[in-house]
Amino acid sequence: MSKFDAGMESMLDTFVFESTELLENLDDILMRTESSELTADDIAEIFRVMHTIKGSAAMMGLKNLSELAHAVEDIYFVVRENPELQFDRPKLYELSFKTSDYLKYDIENLADDSVELTDFSEFIPQLHEFAAYLTALSKGEEAAAPAAHHEIFSADEPEGVRTVKITFSDSCMMPSIRAMVLVNSVGADAEVLSTIPPDLEADSADDEIRAQGFIIKLSCDDIDPVIAQLKDGVDVETVEELKRPASQAPKAEPAKPALPAGSSEEGVTTFLIRFEEGCLMPSIRAMVLKNSLNSYGQIVKTVPDDLEKDSAEDEIAKNGFRVEIKTEHAEEALAMLKEGVNVLTADKLEAAKPEAEAEAKPAAEAPKAAQKKDAPAAGGAHGSGSMISVRLEKLDRLLDLVAEIVITESGVTSSPDLREISSGLDRFQKSARELKKLTDELQDVVMSIRMVPVQTAFSKMSRVVRDMNQTLGKNVDLVFVGADTEADKSVVDILGDPLMHIVRNAVDHGIEMPEERAAAGKTERATVTLSAGYESGEVVISCEDNGAGMDPKKLLAKAKKNGILTKPENEYTDSECYELIMSAGFSTNETVTQYSGRGVGMDVVRKNIEKVGGKMYIDSELGKGSKFTIRIPLSLSIIDVLGVEANGAELSVPISSVKEIFRAEPSQLIKDPDGTELVMLREKCLRVIRLADAFELTGERMPLEEGILLYCSEDGREAAIFADALTADQQVVVKPLSILLNKYDLKSKGLSGCSILADGSITLITDINELFIHNGVRQLEAAK
Amino acid sequence: MAAIGFDMGQLLTFDCGGQVYAFDLTDVTDIIEVPEITVLPMVADYILGIMNLRGKVVPVMEFAGRMGFPQPEYDEHSCIIVVDCEGALLGIKVPRVIDAEAYEKDQLSPSPVDNSCVRGYIELKERRVTVIDCVRLSEKNR
């Protein structure tokens, strides 16, 4: 069985996305405030997060999640109501972080039917307990009111109201949902005034309906069709109309609640609208009414003024919805308002007498003050400005389409048919140029959309380090460098897991315990530095710690013990020793902790990175620390390349690798005794690497002085690349080569990917660093 | 064409050197004219290069070369069959496509050879059709 309600599949993505974002926001707040002050705004924001998750989880039918969120919401409710309260804050944070993790886990695995929803029946009581503790602290204020016992017939119920009681069959899973459906279905024949229980979204609604049945209060002319309709409802067992017992008949006309005063401005009519208790979203209803009122006159003011605010719901439920409108058709407008869905009462308020005004004022100002208080919180939540979120696949599709448009555009404007009409095309040519400019710009914009800063992947690590500091007591500082480096969204997403493993390893294995650090005479704070940057068309992410470092001998001994050595022990270089930790079945930590397991992590990390065409390097110095470097190609990101031709093949060299482009004079060229071609560039003697040879392209060998030489430098290696001709200087989107070509290992031979050019042709992109390594270019001593 | 039931499948048959071969039609995503193919260096001879399939870069393999057959004659009927090899697209150049034909799955005699590109053999319209496993053909997991 699916985990969530059938019919909600279409909402799954949105739910997962929104909830994930909310939870990230929650984590941010928790991290930020844990060691500092928890302000009222933060509490309100956490409350909002939990409230939203509760609501949307309930909508999805994820009862466990909504109950969990509800329990946390209760806690923050108490905290919010008692800002002065002193309480056990570490406990609050522990519970909040735990909740955040639980929610994240379940939401992440929502689409995977093989992972069961977590049962929180043990955790939720803990939350309740804490909420009770908080409540007790706040001077024994009464806990949240228990499920109210609703009187079926209230004393002030007007006559003509019909009461219908519905019971559902025992097998009905979610009677509250069924009840909601019924309420909607009778809308055509009758007006639903209220229901018992009033709030069908409340978690208690299901139990209440099961225990007491579901009661609808209606106003209608003929009850029979309504009852017939209700009987047709799914899972409905009985439907009966209840009659008010004689003794409960209203004794007297109840005193009408005193209406507050309306606006005293001339020509302005003030309406006060109250919605039924069962009305789910009064602010939406209010908005609908406001829109319809627009046709009667000009709306001067509404209270609450911003219906989109979260607080608007509560305010409307409490004070009603107040509209001041300049209209000459006040009566018609009033009639319209009374007809509105879920409207309980709509009244025209008389102009205020001076003394009444004084009374009304503070009342009207109170909600304003409340809104002001809420405003900064809302601002914080939406601080990212006007953003929308789009599915990545849609962007991919858009990018492909734009590329197609660009190709088609050049196909149209340079169509061979046009050549036959050589004259009189001036206006066409002008428009064509305009079109080209626009399509180019379009392509630029679309490409830039996909770029996101690596910050998103980094900031998740703060949480990891925070948790580990808590349990391991290592007080590690996490430092970010270059977090604003942009990479393609998919690359940033891929980085998440490997980074997590590496950071965990750095904190758990790399950084020593404070006592050990002190013993080793290390005075600086334990630090893990995450940095990001670009290098030759790749994103380079590194994680450096100032911990104990790794002992190559120890690694080697361990590897030997575990039998994972592949060549004689004495042939291993230091860097090869470090690489051993990325082999399957390797762990140097004596005790296995919850954070880093038995060495199954690093080999998986390496595999995942290699899967996307990346590489991982490890460097370490005993006693000083270790550095893990990940290089991932800027898959699908834009790089500047020089197009070159070599024996007929179109190749592209990333401009970032090229230092200088020159033509060689015969006097500059040297051939050493082995036949290796060399070129003197000023005082430097460089090896010449013919692209045609490096890529085994057949054809005639062009004399060096006739072609073009690119002086390239990469990671301490330098050489001159020789090509026949320079063809273009362009921006391209790098696409990795198909995984079907993996067995040819083109990447390590110097071909990192390919790109589709504007005319639809394909160019191959070279990786100068790999090309140098593959062709045995030595690294300069200085760079080592 | 016969109704296609649970035990029925469809094959895309093509001719190569007078023999009839087939891919399972569910693996086939496109059949296109031979486009411009960018030569890829340092790969096997039967990898003709890469092509642009509506914005995707897809490697192209010559069927005959991959199977070790002599090079057949290519003409205007020659085309590229694009197959989906467990998520990765592969273009396969063949001399000519014949037809899409329904077959009963239990009529297929599986090839007894391990790791063969041939999934099995089937008799269709009195010809023997060799059904190719495109994932094996692609050398994907090597």
Q: Kindly compute the dihedral angle of the four CA atoms of residues A488, A489, A490, A496, in this order, to the nearest 10 degrees.
A: 110
Q: Whole-number mean pLDDT of chain B?
A: 89
Instruction: Please tell me what DSSP assigns to residue A670.
Output: E
Bond into A197 cis (ω within 30): yes
Tokens 């007297």, located at residue: A252
Which chain A residue's Cα is nearest to B50? A762
Please check the confidence at residue A342 and state whether its pLDDT lies above 70.
no
Please check the confidence at residue A78 and state whether its pLDDT lies above 60.
yes
Contact (Cβ atoms closer than 8 angstroms) between residue A489 and residue A446: no
Contact (Cβ atoms closer than 8 angstroms) between residue A317 and residue A282: yes
Please check the confidence at residue A277 and state whether its pLDDT lies above 70.
no
pLDDT for position B47:
93
Other residues' Cβ atoms within 10 Å of the Cβ of residue B142: 9
- Gap between the Cα atoms of A431 and B72, Å rounded: 47
Flag if A746 and B40 touch (Cβ within 8 Å).
yes
Q: Are strands A658-662 and A708-714 parallel, antiparallel or unpaired?
A: antiparallel
pLDDT for position A139:
56
Q: Which of B51, B57, B61 to mutate: most A Cβ within 10 Å?
A: B57
User: Token digits for A133?
Assistant: 């503790």
Flag if A740 and B139 touch (Cβ within 8 Å).
yes
Flag if A743 and B142 touch (Cβ within 8 Å).
yes
Other residues' Cβ atoms within 10 Å of the Cβ of residue A7: 8
Contact (Cβ atoms closer than 8 angstroms) between residue A532 and residue A483: yes
- Gap between the Cα atoms of A352 and A360, Å rounded: 9
pLDDT for position A579:
81
Contact (Cβ atoms closer than 8 angstroms) between residue B27 and residue B136: no
- What is the number of residues in chain B? 142
What b/e sequence results for A545-557 when a residue is b if at least 16 CB atoms lie within 10 Å of its CB, and e otherwise?
bbbbbbebeebbe
Please check the confidence at residue B57 and state whether its pLDDT lies above 70.
yes
The per-residue pLDDT for range B78-116, each reduced to its tens digit, is 999 999 988 889 999 999 999 999 998 888 999 898 888
Instruction: Please tell me what DSSP assigns to residue A510.
Output: I
Please check the confidence at residue A252 and state whether its pLDDT lies above 80.
no
Tokens 């008692």, located at residue: A82
Could you give the maximum distance between any two Cα atoms of chain B, in Å?
Answer: 47
User: Token digits for A501?
Assistant: 């493993």
DSSP string covering A85-131, please?
A: ----HHHHHHHHHHHHHHHHHHHHTTT-TTSPPP--TTHHHHHHHHH
User: ∠A279-A282-A284 over CA atoms, to 5°?
Assistant: 120
Q: Residue A762 is nearest to which of B44, B57, B89, comparing CB atoms?
A: B57
User: Would the pTM count as exceeding 0.90?
Assistant: no
DSSP string covering A423-479, please?
A: SS-HHHHHHHHHHHHHHHHHHHHHHHHTEEETHHHHHHHHHHHHHHHHHH----EEE
Flag if B56 and A400 touch (Cβ within 8 Å).
yes
The whole-angstrom distance between A708's CA and the closest CA on chain B is 21
Helices (H) and strands (E) in chain A, counts: 23, 26
The closest alpha carbon to B65, from B83, B45, B89, belongs to B45
Bond into A703 cis (ω within 30): no
Tokens 């001709």, located at residue: A725
pLDDT for position B24:
93
Contact (Cβ atoms closer than 8 angstroms) between residue A605 and residue A626: no
- Burial label for A640, CB within 10 Å (0-12, 13-18, 19+), is middle
Flag if B57 and A756 touch (Cβ within 8 Å).
yes
- Gap between the Cα atoms of A342 and B43, Å rounded: 72
Please report residues of A whose CB lies closer than 8 A to that of B43.
741, 744, 746
Cβ-proximal residues to A188 (8 Å cutoff; 6+ apart), any chain: none
Cβ-proximal residues to A668 (8 Å cutoff; 6+ apart), any chain: A679, A680, A681
The closest alpha carbon to A290, from A310, A271, A318, A314, belongs to A271
- Gap between the Cα atoms of A369 and B71, Å rounded: 84
Please tell me the number of Cα atoms within 13 Å of B126 on its side-chain side.
Answer: 0
Going along B17-132, which residue ranges are E strands?
Answer: 19-24, 28-33, 47-53, 56-62, 79-85, 88-94, 96-104, 109-110, 118-124, 127-132
Please report residues of B whose CB lies closer than 8 A to that of A740.
59, 85, 88, 90, 138-140
- Gap between the Cα atoms of B139 and B142, Å rounded: 6
Element (H, E) at A251: none
- Gap between the Cα atoms of A577 and A582, Å rounded: 10
Going along A574-624, which residue ranges are E strands?
Answer: 615-621
List phi, psi (to 5°) of B128: -85, 130
What Rg do the C-alpha atoms of chain A give, in angstroms?
A: 36
Flag if A756 and B85 touch (Cβ within 8 Å).
no
Q: Kindly compute the dihedral angle of the four CA atoms of residues B51, B52, B57, B60, in this order, to the nearest 10 degrees.
A: -20
The whole-angstrom distance between A454's CA and the closest CA on chain B is 26
Q: Which of A393, A635, A744, A759 to mutate: most B Cβ within 10 Å?
A: A744
Tokens 């300069």, located at residue: A780
A400 contacts chain B (CB < 8 A): yes
Band of residue A1 on the pLDDT scale cut at 50, 70, 90: very low
Return residues 669-698 of A near B (CB < 8 Å). Answer: 695-697
- Gap between the Cα atoms of A737 and A707, Å rounded: 28
- What is the number of residues in chain A? 784
Q: Are strands B109-110 and B118-124 parallel, antiparallel or unpaired?
A: antiparallel
pLDDT for position A451:
80
Please report residues of B whose CB lies closer than 8 A to that of A761.
36, 38, 52
Tokens 């809302």, located at residue: A378
Please check the confidence at residue B139 and state whether its pLDDT lies above 90.
no
Average pLDDT over residues A218-242: 74
Amino acid at A95: L
- Gap between the Cα atoms of A530 and A454, Å rounded: 11
Q: Which of A393, A636, A739, A752 to mutate: most B Cβ within 10 Å?
A: A739
The per-residue pLDDT for range A526-539, each reduced to its tens digit, is 889 999 988 866 78
ipTM of the complex: 0.88
Flag if B43 and A696 touch (Cβ within 8 Å).
no
Q: Which of B42, B56, B60, B142 to mutate: most A Cβ within 10 Å?
A: B42
Average pLDDT over residues A405-417: 76
The per-residue pLDDT for range A126-184, each reduced to its tens digit, is 888 888 888 887 755 444 434 344 556 655 556 667 777 777 776 666 777 777 777 77
Contact (Cβ atoms closer than 8 angstroms) between residue A707 and residue A724: yes
Q: Are strands A486-488 and B56-62 parallel, antiparallel or unpaired?
A: unpaired
Q: Kindly compute the dihedral angle of the four CA atoms of residues A716, A722, A725, A726, in this order, to the nearest 10 degrees.
A: 0
Going along A311-412, which residue ranges are E strands?
Answer: 321-327, 343-349
Q: Residue A584, Cα to own-chain centre: how many angstroms? A: 33
A72 contacts chain B (CB < 8 A): no
Please check the confidence at residue A328 and state whether its pLDDT lies above 80.
no
pLDDT for position A148:
41
What b/e sequence results for B89-112 when a residue is b if at least 16 CB atoms lie within 10 Å of its CB, and e otherwise?
bbbbbbbebbeebebeeeebeebe
Band of residue B142 on the pLDDT scale cut at 50, 70, 90: low
Flag if A741 and B43 touch (Cβ within 8 Å).
yes
- Gap between the Cα atoms of A350 and A353, Å rounded: 9
Band of residue A652 on the pLDDT scale cut at 50, 70, 90: very high
Distance set, CA A522 to CA A87, A620, A622, A625, B7 (Å): 37, 17, 13, 12, 72
**If DSSP codes are grouped into helix, strand and coil, which group holds residue B52?**
strand
- Gap between the Cα atoms of A633 and A746, Å rounded: 14
Contact (Cβ atoms closer than 8 angstroms) between residue A577 and residue A555: yes
Cβ-proximal residues to A99 (8 Å cutoff; 6+ apart), any chain: A68, A69, A72, A123, A127
Higher pLDDT, A704 or A171: A704
Higher pLDDT, B87 or A357: B87
Q: Are strands A638-646 and A725-733 parallel, antiparallel or unpaired?
A: antiparallel
- Gap between the Cα atoms of A337 and B30, Å rounded: 60
Average pLDDT over residues A547-570: 80
Please report residues of B whose CB lies closer than 8 A to that of A636.
none
Please report residues of A whose CB lies closer than 8 A to that of B90.
738, 740
Architecture of domain B9-138: Beta Barrel (2.40)
Instruction: Please tell me what DSSP assigns to residue A37.
Output: -
Flag if B41 and A696 touch (Cβ within 8 Å).
yes
Flag if A738 and B51 touch (Cβ within 8 Å).
no
Flag if B38 and A754 touch (Cβ within 8 Å).
yes
